[in-house]
Each structure stands twice: as structure tokens, then as C-alpha cells.
Amino acid sequence: MALSRQSLSVRQRVGSSSAAAGQGIGRSIRVTAWVSFVVEVLIIGTGGAVRLTGSGMGCPTWPTCTADSLIPTSELSFHSLIEFGNRMMTGVVGIAVLVLVLLLWRLRAERRNIFTLAVVVLGGVVAQAVVGGITVWTGLNPFIVGFHYVASLVLVCVSAAILVRIRQAPGPRKLAVPSWFAALVHATSFVVAVTIAVGVLTTASGPHSGDVNAGRTGFDVELLEHLHAWPAYLAFALSIVLVLTAYRWGGAVFRWSIALLLVELVQIALGLYQARNGLPELAVGAHMVLAALLAATMTVLILCLKRQSPIPAETVSSSSRS
Ligand code: HEM
């Protein structure tokens, strides 16, 4: 079937990849941006390990581990090592992001958007170190622990945005898809955000508090589990629509719609598995990390909605599926 004129012109626009990409962005910046993204995701895993092994108060004070020692002492248990390991991980993340900011310094005028994003991540990492300290000071208040997780997830999304932007040429961008499709993507991202927010509340009310003495929200966990799962199914349904509609355009929008659908599929399967099997720690940890990857995928899809410049018509006609 021949492509309609509208879908052909959309295909021209979404098909333009990073042809004119990455002006001034060298290999060292690309590699550091990837390292920064990966360690941002990893620290969500190590933070999850702290909570899921009940090591939240392994170092009972902050910024030192105990009242008179910066690092765990021999009297402290393996929980201290896990908690302290997570504190060390903050250092690794901080160094990676600091190096990225320094590498981007000379491009701060031409690639101001990327430089600003990197500075935001650096500021966020410093702020997160303090929020981590506040979680300890408050004896793992579930709302603060939840906020700490959500803030990490936002930093993963900003790091993903940096990865997208360094592949794109600077300059103004135009919507590369019909506005209804962009609205559908934004609606999906809203539903994903609601799913994540209610998931965090579910965790904050469930058994994995991070310490035997830590408080819980007192909300009904079973009800929250349902309130969390419903928007997850809605996000999945919306993502199916995204894949089916983006199919005729191909390109990055189609690829990232598929990625979103696949990550959601695994995440929903994992969520159902953990809910029906007494919340095994490993599955809960994987669900936490995958939520961050899902949010990152959503971010990339949103950023793919706009393109800087269209590719020539000949390129399109030679790759057309009609
Ligand atoms: C788009 C799909 C989904 C996303 C993005 C998602 C995301 C999340 C997030 C961010 C958390 C909180 C993690 C934390 O604070 O440590 C969470 C917790 C949870 N999720 Fe999901 N989830 C999804 C689907 C599901 C589904 C379908 C179920 C099935 C009932 C489910 C069951 C749970 C449960 C039981 C918890 C609480 C775990 C605990 O108590 O520690 N999730 N989810």
C-alpha cells in the first residue's frame, strides 16, 4: 500500500537520524557520558541492595559512618560494608559527572544545552549525597527514601538526555511527527510517571524498609499494588498504539517506541512475579533498576519527537516501505 502524503512527509522528518550530529563532541565526551549514565543506573542498584538487605542503618551516622569513624569499624556488621559501599558509589558517580562537566567546559557556549544538563546532573549528585544523609538522620523515613529514589531516577533521565543531545547537531529543532502523536507520547509519559510514583508509595508501605526499626507510611499495600498496576497496564496499552502508529514512519521514533513497549513488558512481568511471590529481594531490586531504564527510554522517545533538519527526499524514497 502506498504511503499517504502526510505519512511520507513525517517519514522524511523522523527518518533524519544524527546525520549532522555531534559537532565538537569527541570520543572522550561520548565515553564519559555513557559511563556517567551507566553509573547513575548502577547506583540505583546499589541503593536498592542497601534497602533490600536491611542495611539502611549499617552506617548509623552521616557524613561519617559512626560517631567517630569515617569508615566502618571492625565492630560493625556486613550491613555497614553494604551501606558504606553505596556511599563510595556516590563518589564514583560524582567523579564521572565532574569529568563530563570538565570535558564539556570548552563547548559550554556552542553546546550550552548539553553543558547545562551535565551541570544539572553534577548538582543533583551532590544534592543526592545530602538527601542520602537525611535518610540516615531521619531513621529511613519512607517518604525521604522514596524521594531519594525518584531523584536518582530523574538524574538517569537527564543523563539519557545528554546521550541523545550529543548525537544531535546544535540549533533549533522542529516537531518531526504529527502533534497528535507527540501528545500521545506525552500522555504515555504522564501515565508512566504516575505508575512510578504509586510504585514508590507501594514500596514505602511494604516490607522492604531498609531496617527493622524503620517506619512505614501506614497505607494499605494491597490497594496500592492495584493502584500501581492499573496505570502500568494503561501505559502498556498506550505504547502498543505508539508502536502501531509509528510503524509507517520507521526511524528513531519507531525504534524507541518498540524499546519502550519491550521494557514495559518485562517490567510488568517482573512486577506480577514479585507481587505473587512474596516480594523476593532480587526481583524487587531488578524492578527498581528497570523502572529507571524505562524512564530513560521514555525520555529518549520524547527527545526523538523533534529533529533539527529533514533528510533529502531521495533518501526517503529509496528507503520507503511502500
Ligand atoms: C510500567 C510498568 C511498571 C513500572 C514502571 C513500575 C515501577 C515501579 C517502581 C518505580 C516501584 C518502586 C521501587 C522503589 O521505590 O524501590 C515499584 C514497586 C512495585 N511494583 Fe512496579 N512497576 C510497574 C509495573 C508493575 C506491575 C504490573 C506490578 C504488579 C502488581 C508491580 C508491582 C510492584 C510492587 C509489588 C512493588 C512494591 C515492591 C516493594 O514493596 O518493595 N509493578 N514499581
pLDDT at 319 over 50: no
Q: What is the pLDDT of residues 29-71, one digit of tens each?
A: 999 999 999 999 999 999 999 999 999 999 999 999 999 899 9
pLDDT band with cut points at 50, 70 and 90 for residue 77: confident
Average pLDDT over residues 126-133: 97
Cis status of the peptide bond prior to 63, with omega within 30 of 0: yes
Q: What is the pLDDT of residues 206-222, one digit of tens each?
A: 999 999 999 999 999 99
Distance (Å) of CA 186 to CA 39, 95, 227, 264: 27, 33, 21, 16
β-strand partners of 277:
none
Judgement on whether residues 79 and 118 belong to the same structural domain of the protein: yes
Q: How far is the CA of 185 from the centre of ligand 1 (A)?
A: 21
Of residues 21 and 313, the one with the higher pLDDT is 21
Residue 222 domain flag? yes
302/294 Cα distance (integer angstroms)? 12
pLDDT of residue 23: 66
Q: Of 141, 170, 199, which one is at a domain's C-terminal end?
A: 170
Q: Which of 287, 290, 294, 298 to probe ligand 1 with, by most ligand atoms within 8 A of CB? A: 287
Average pLDDT over residues 298-321: 69
pLDDT at 17 over 90: no
What domain range is 60 assigned to?
Answer: 24-170
pLDDT at 10 over 60: no
pLDDT of residue 179: 97
Residues with a CB atom less than 6 Å from ligand 1: 146, 149, 192, 195-196, 199-200, 202-203, 206, 208, 225, 228-229, 232, 235, 264, 267-268, 271-272, 274-275, 279, 284, 287-288, 291, 294
pTM beyond 0.85: the answer is yes
Residue 1 domain flag? no
Q: Which three cell numbers stand for residue 270?
A: 517482573
Q: How far is the CA of 287 from the centre of ligand 1 (A)?
A: 6
Judgement on whether residues 33 and 105 belong to the same structural domain of the protein: yes
Considering its fold, how many domains does the chain have in total?
A: 2
Average pLDDT over residues 299-308: 94
Judgement on whether residues 159 and 192 belong to the same structural domain of the protein: no
pLDDT at 125 over 80: yes
Residue 273 domain flag? yes
Q: Which three cell numbers stand for residue 66?
A: 559512626
Question: CB of 135 within 8 A of CB of 148?
Answer: yes
Judgement on whether residues 246 and 136 belong to the same structural domain of the protein: no
Q: How far is the CA of 212 from the centre of ligand 1 (A)?
A: 21
Q: Which of 203, 217, 240, 288 to probe ligand 1 with, by most ligand atoms within 8 A of CB? A: 203
pLDDT of residue 309: 65
Question: CB of 241 within 8 A of CB of 184?
Answer: yes
Distance (Å) of CA 128 to CA 69, 121, 279, 286: 22, 10, 27, 21
Judgement on whether residues 195 and 106 belong to the same structural domain of the protein: no
pLDDT band with cut points at 50, 70 and 90 for residue 223: very high
Judgement on whether residues 160 and 183 belong to the same structural domain of the protein: no
